Structure 1
Amino acid sequence: MVIVLIGYMGSGKSAVGKVLAENLSCTFADMDDYIEEKEQKTIPEIFRDKGEIYFRKVESRYLQEILSGEKGAVISLGGGTPCYGDNMDRIKELADKVFYLKASVGELTARLGKEKDHRPLIKHLSDDELEEFIRKHLFERNFYYLRADSTVNVDGKTIEDIAGEIISGIK
C-alpha cells in the first residue's frame, strides 16, 4: 500500500509520515528529501539558483518517479506538490490512500513563524504578512487538498494521535 500525505507547509506531513511508516512497518519517503538528493542541492538552493518554475517541473518528474517506484510506503509531499500541473491526478491514480493534514491558519502561522529562515516561499515575509500569505495560499490550494481521500485535522493533536487517526482510516 502507498499512502500519501498532503497539506500546507508546516502541517506536519514529514513528522507524521515518519511515525506512520514506523507504525505500519513500511518505508518512508519525503518528497523534499528525494528532490534534494536527486538535484544535489537543498530546496532553498534550487529556488535561489533556478527559480520556482524549474523546481515545479523537476518536482513533477520526481513525483512520478517516486510514486511509480514505491510499494509499501508512506510518502510526504511538499505543500505545493498537489497544486501544479496534473500532479493531483497522478497522486490519486498511483497512491492507494491520500490524506490531507489540515491545520488552521493560526496554527500554521505559529508553526511557520519559527521556521521562516528555512522556507524559501516565506523567508522574505514579515510576521504580519505571513498570516495573510498563508490564508491566501490555503484558499488557492483548498481545491487540490480537498481531493484527498480523507482529511485529518491536526490542530492540538500529537504526532502519534494523528498517525493513529490515519491508521484507523486505512482499515
Structure 2
Amino acid sequence: MKIVLCGYMGSGKSNVGELLANKLRYDFIDLDKKIEAVEGKSIPKIFSEKSEIYFRKKENEVLKSVLESKNKVVISLGGGTPCYADNLEQLKNDEEVYLIYLKVDLHTLTNRLSKEQENRPLLKNINSIDDLEDYIRKHLFERQFYYMQSDLIVDSSLLSVEEIAQQIEKKLL
C-alpha cells in the first residue's frame, strides 16, 4: 500500500507523513526532498534557476519513479503536485494508492505560511498579510477540484500532527 498525502503548502503533509510512516513502519518519502536530491539543489533554487515549468516536469518524473516502489510507503506530495501534468491521474489509477487530503482552513494556512514566506518560492514576493491571504484563497479555490478527489479528507485545521496521524491510522485499520 502507498499512503499519499496531498494538500496546500503548510498543511502539515511532511510532518504528518513522517509520523504516520513511523507508526505504521512504512518507508517515508517527501516528494519535494526527493526532487531536491535528484536535482542536487533546493526547490527555491530550482524555481529561480530553471523555472516553475522545469520543476513541474521534474516533479512528474520523480512522482512516477516513486510510485513504482514495491515497498509500503507514505508519500508526502508538494502542494501543487496533484494539479499538474497527469499526476492526479497517476495517483487515482494506481490501485495501491490511498490518497488523503489534509484540509486546512484559509486563516490557519495564512498564519502558518506568513512565517515561512522566505522558504516558499511562490510566496516570497508577496508583501502583506492581506495579499498573502488573497493568494492562498485563489489557489485553494483552483486546487480544491483536485484535492477533493482524494479517498479520504481530514479536516486538520485544529488538530495536532499526532491527532491527524491517529485519525488516518484509524481509517486505515
TM-score (norm 2): 0.97
**Following superposition of structure 1 onto structure 2, how do residues 46-61 of structure 1 map, counting pairs within 5 Å?**
46-61=46-61
CA distance in 1, matches of 2:25, 2:85: 32
* Number of aligned residue pairs: 171
Q: Deviations over 1:117-152 (max 9, x none)?
A: 000000000222100000000000001000100100
Superposed structure 1 runs of 4+ greater than 4 Å apart:
none
**Following superposition of structure 1 onto structure 2, how do residues 107-118 of structure 1 map, counting pairs within 5 Å?**
107-118=108-119
**Following superposition of structure 1 onto structure 2, how do residues 85-164 of structure 1 map, counting pairs within 5 Å?**
85-94=85-94, 95-126=96-127, 127-164=129-166
Q: Percent identity?
A: 50
CA distance in 2, matches of 1:145, 1:99: 8
Q: Which runs of 5+ in 1 are unaligned?
A: none
Aligned 8 A contact 1:83 1:141 in 2: yes
Comparing 94-103 and 17-26, the one that deviates more: 94-103
Partner SS for 2:157: coil
**What letter matches 2:113 in structure 1?**
L
CA distance in 1, matches of 2:92, 2:70: 15
Q: Deviations over 1:26-81 (max 9, x none)?
A: 11100000000000010000000000000001100110001112520100000000
CA distance in 2, matches of 1:7, 1:140: 12
**What letter matches 1:160 in structure 2?**
E
Partner SS for 1:69: coil
TM-score (norm 1): 0.98
**What letter matches 1:155 in structure 2?**
S
TM superposition shift of 1:165 = 0.5
